[in-house]
Structure 1
Amino acid sequence: MASEGLREPGAHRPFLSMIMSYAASGGSLIIGSAAQLLTFAILARWLGVHEFSVFVAITAVANIAVHLCGLGAMECLVRRVARDRSMYSRMLGHNVILTAISGIVLVLLGAIALPFFFTLSADPATNIAVITLMLITNIIFVRVIVLTEQIFLAHSNFASANKVVVGFAIARTIAAALACIVFGVATVASWAVWQFVCHVLVAIGCWYAVKGLGRPVYGIVREELPQGLYFSIPFILRAVRQNADLLVLSLVASAEVMSSYSVARRMLESSYLSVEALNRLIYPGSAKATASGLHHAFERVRKVLVAATSISIAAAIAVFVLAPVLPYLFGKDYVSLVSFVRILCWVVVPIAMWSVAMEALGASGHHPARASVMGLGSVLGAALTAWATWYAPPAGTFISFYVIEIAMVIVSWSVFLRFVRRDREGAVEHVVPARMAHEG
């Protein structure tokens, strides 16, 4: 059955075609990640320790908020459009409304609260304006650009989705190089303007790229509101957990440790992109394969697990080997960088393993269970990470990472297998009476 393999159901494409699709998807994410890392390195060198730490802190807050922006509507678009292309206009309108409303609320809340914690300018009005500009850039415009990628994925147009990823990353690198290297930008306040202009231009290009797919039909698809919330809340909580260590480290560790650790974290996120490339390629097909029950895609998910685990191991080995190169990019002041990266790089393996189970639950529409697993894991993980970081920085932080991710593997696959059994038993219960009635 096509639903049991890695290829799209009914597509009947040869295996080589799937490998090429993955290579293109993975290549785009890796190129995008390399460009992001270069952008990170340029900003770290030219902004300096103090300005860079403030930039990382505000970006961390925006990274949490961006998952709330849109209230999970993007996943609903991918899932519904992958199953029925005629839903595109309605789901696009649904996304536009929720993204606009939630984005404006998040920016306003951030503009009110963050100036009490961060100072980017001695003038209070300028400080508020700069922070607001950064929030608009990193919440609303990032969400719009990512929505474009998801629209192409929903239509199985992976080539265009890859172009969005690569183009966005390269645009930010060019902006950072022009701002810092050419024009000598050395403050977050100045970089905020460059970053905003860059995102506006990319967003305009994205709008032009998708306008031919159809105009939005504005309205809320009510049945997808709870599904979207179930999908987004785990990511919000996970973003909180992922930034709890940074917030606590900023209080108890030196600037060098904080900076080196933030780069190591970025490397971990970059190494996961090779697995994400597989998940994003598989998700639309999994949504189709699980339309009649999660058990129909069990063999498909098992093969994805093998592939994701193998890819994550290869990614960890590559990061471990290449770690000594990083100080040449970020500077000799990052003395802990190589050791931190080599300690953290193996965490990608358990992350890859549990993400396969969670992606399968999401594609099949089991969002309450998915949200429960990821949400509870994030809440407990945030508490454990914060405590461990406070108690024994940074060793406690590293230990907490492995404990949390391994626990997530056990819990996520236990839940996934329970739903597979439930769907299979439910299918048998429907088949037996129908067969008896037919024979009677």
Structure 2
Amino acid sequence: MASECATEPGRYKPFLPMLLSYVASGGSLVVGSAAQLLTFAILARWLGVHEFSIFVAVTAIANIAVHLCGLGAMECLVRRVARDRAIYPQMLGHNIILTAASGAALVLIGAAVLPFFLKLSAEPLTNVAVITLMLVTNVVLVRIIVLVEQIFLAHSDFASANVVVVGFAVARTVAAALACIAFGVATVASWAVWQFVCHVLAALACIWAIKGLGRPRYCIVREELPQGLYFSIPFILRAVRQNADLLVLSLVATAEIVSSYSVARRMLESSYLSVEALHRLIYPGSARISAAGLHHALERVRKVLIASTAISVAAAVVVFVLAPILPYLFGQDYISLVAFVRKLCWVIVPMAIWSVAVEALGASGYHAARATVMGLGSVAGAALAAWASWYAPPVGTFVSFYVIEIAMVVATWSVFLHFVRHDREQAGRPEASARMVHEG
């Protein structure tokens, strides 16, 4: 694969193919992020403060639920298909079954519970219908679209994966512009219909795009069920971690501080896309190299670490320099925005460093260890962020962020090196080495 030329251990092929792949992958994520930011701005202006706050609440809940939808089956599709494309029909069927079952359960639970807390319409039945429609849109349909992106990544078709990312983001921006600017949509209930139609069309286009890769064979790959749960649980816990500080700040700080901090967090997530673009390229190849033991991927991981750190530093510098422009986009009411963004932007560096270790653990199939270190880090991080935000807002919030991410660097790399040593020792035993190769 062209994108792996410079990362295979012991090989020094030209860097240009990988660089071009990274630019395309990173460019697609950046364009997608910019389109999302524009969609965010359009909805914020046309829906108004009250309606937009409700939209954000539903979306936040959906962002947690979407990690449960599919029960982590997408990761095993990428990992297994990258190693053996003949297994694609089974892994696709496995994903469809789990996505449909878990998605239906999540929508039903949300439709039963959320109407007691969120009022999108004065009419009870309409309120339930709108909430249900938004859950189907932002959980099930989003999961289907992301699944197609992962299918292309599993087949090393990065160009098609990039088209999915950019196309979906642009489609949402066009839908928001048409709904709000052209047709004057000003309520969440009305926007929910537009959003649903947009996602249905995007999902149908994605399904059509993968029809040439083969039909699914409907079955449950039982050995991948726990692996999928191990993969998804850390993301759910991390979502809790990412909202603990915002929740506490909303109780003890002013609305301006909470708003500026939430925007700063969004900018941090956008800047991390430059690192995520690298991982998208590396993961399939890492899965193949580490099939016979994580120690085989050690040299590759070292090179990824250097690249990831350099990319994160560059991203932080860019955000720091461009921060004064943000009030022109979000408005002059965000008094603390520039300062908050500049204080938070450097967090991307430790995030990039520890993400290399967890991606390597995931690619090698060590999802239990990966889930444990990420899960415990998220739980401890949520507690620390909540306490620090309550005790000394907002300074305590920023300090806790750096403490958490640096601690994650130490924890994840300790676990990664432990399994490298473990696999190297196992490879030294003939019977264990043969078993590892057979299982890979």
TM-score by length of 1: 0.94
Cα offset, 1:111, TM superposition = 1.4
Tell me if structure 1 keeps the 8 A contact 2:357–2:412: yes
Aligned to 2:266: 266
Aligned to 2:50: 50
Distance 1:256 1:127, change over 3 A: farther
Tell me if structure 2 keeps the 8 A contact 1:53–1:259: no
Partner Cα distance (2:29, 2:171) in 1: 14
Whether 2:34 is the aligned partner of 1:34: answer: yes
Partner Cα distance (1:244, 1:150) in 2: 29
Aligned pairs for 1:394-433 (under 5 A) are 394-430=394-430
Cα offset, 1:12, TM superposition = 9.0
Aligned pairs for 1:310-325 (under 5 A) are 310-325=310-325
Aligned to 1:130: 130
Distance 1:112 1:19, change over 3 A: same
Amino acid at match of 1:337: L
Aligned to 2:328: 328
Distance 1:433 1:104, change over 3 A: closer
Aligned to 1:356: 356
Cα offset, 1:338, TM superposition = 1.6
Distance 1:208 1:171, change over 3 A: same
Cα offset, 1:87, TM superposition = 0.5
Whether 2:215 is the aligned partner of 1:219: answer: no
Aligned to 1:82: 82
Say which SS state the counterpart of residue 215 (structure 2) adopts. coil
Amino acid at match of 1:386: A
- Return 250-259 or 299-308, whichever deviates more: 250-259
Distance 1:118 1:394, change over 3 A: farther
Cα offset, 1:119, TM superposition = 1.6
Partner Cα distance (2:307, 2:285) in 1: 16
Distance 1:323 1:203, change over 3 A: same
Partner Cα distance (1:271, 1:307) in 2: 15
Cα-to-partner distance string for 1:225-263 (whole Å, 9 max, x where unaligned): 011111111111111111222333333333333322222
Aligned to 2:192: 192
Partner Cα distance (1:141, 1:393) in 2: 38
Cα-to-partner distance string for 1:37-64 (whole Å, 9 max, x where unaligned): 1111222222222222222222111111
Aligned pairs for 1:331-410 (under 5 A) are 331-410=331-410
Aligned to 1:437: none
Amino acid at match of 1:190: S
Amino acid at match of 2:21: S
Cα-to-partner distance string for 1:255-309 (whole Å, 9 max, x where unaligned): 3333222221111111000000000100000000001100011010001001001
Whether 2:256 is the aligned partner of 1:251: answer: no
Aligned to 2:438: none
Amino acid at match of 2:95: N
Aligned to 1:72: 72
Partner Cα distance (2:196, 2:259) in 1: 24
Cα offset, 1:7, TM superposition = 4.0
Amino acid at match of 1:296: H
Partner Cα distance (1:195, 1:8) in 2: 43
Amino acid at match of 1:351: M
- Return 363-372 or 32-41, whichever deviates more: 32-41
Say which SS state the counterpart of residue 291 (structure 1) adopts. helix
Amino acid at match of 1:218: Y
Cα offset, 1:399, TM superposition = 1.6
Tell me if structure 1 keeps the 8 A contact 2:9–2:297: no
Tell me if structure 2 keeps the 8 A contact 1:3–1:9: no
Amino acid at match of 2:238: R
Distance 1:168 1:360, change over 3 A: same
Aligned to 1:152: 152
Amino acid at match of 1:307: A
Tell me if structure 2 keeps the 8 A contact 1:90–1:221: yes
Say which SS state the counterpart of residue 316 (structure 1) adopts. helix
- Return 422-431 or 348-357, whichever deviates more: 422-431
CA RMSD between the two structures: 2.1
Tell me if structure 2 keeps the 8 A contact 1:5–1:299: no
Say which SS state the counterpart of residue 240 (structure 1) adopts. helix
Amino acid at match of 1:220: I
TM-score by length of 2: 0.94
Distance 1:4 1:11, change over 3 A: same
Cα-to-partner distance string for 1:162-207 (whole Å, 9 max, x where unaligned): 0000101111111111122222222222221211111111101100
Say which SS state the counterpart of residue 134 (structure 1) adopts. helix
Tell me if structure 1 keeps the 8 A contact 2:32–2:170: yes
Cα offset, 1:387, TM superposition = 2.0
Aligned to 2:237: 237
Partner Cα distance (2:174, 2:9) in 1: 40
- Return 231-240 or 47-56, whichever deviates more: 47-56
Distance 1:390 1:47, change over 3 A: farther
Partner Cα distance (1:148, 1:344) in 2: 33
Cα offset, 1:11, TM superposition = 11
Cα-to-partner distance string for 1:89-128 (whole Å, 9 max, x where unaligned): 0000000000001011111111122222222222222222
Cα-to-partner distance string for 1:384-424 (whole Å, 9 max, x where unaligned): 12222233332222221111111000100011011111111
Amino acid at match of 1:406: I
Partner Cα distance (2:350, 2:386) in 1: 20
Amino acid at match of 2:265: R
- Return 92-101 or 334-343, whichever deviates more: 334-343
Amino acid at match of 2:379: V
Partner Cα distance (1:12, 1:132) in 2: 53
Say which SS state the counterpart of residue 210 (structure 2) adopts. helix
Amino acid at match of 1:129: A
Tell me if structure 2 keeps the 8 A contact 1:81–1:87: yes
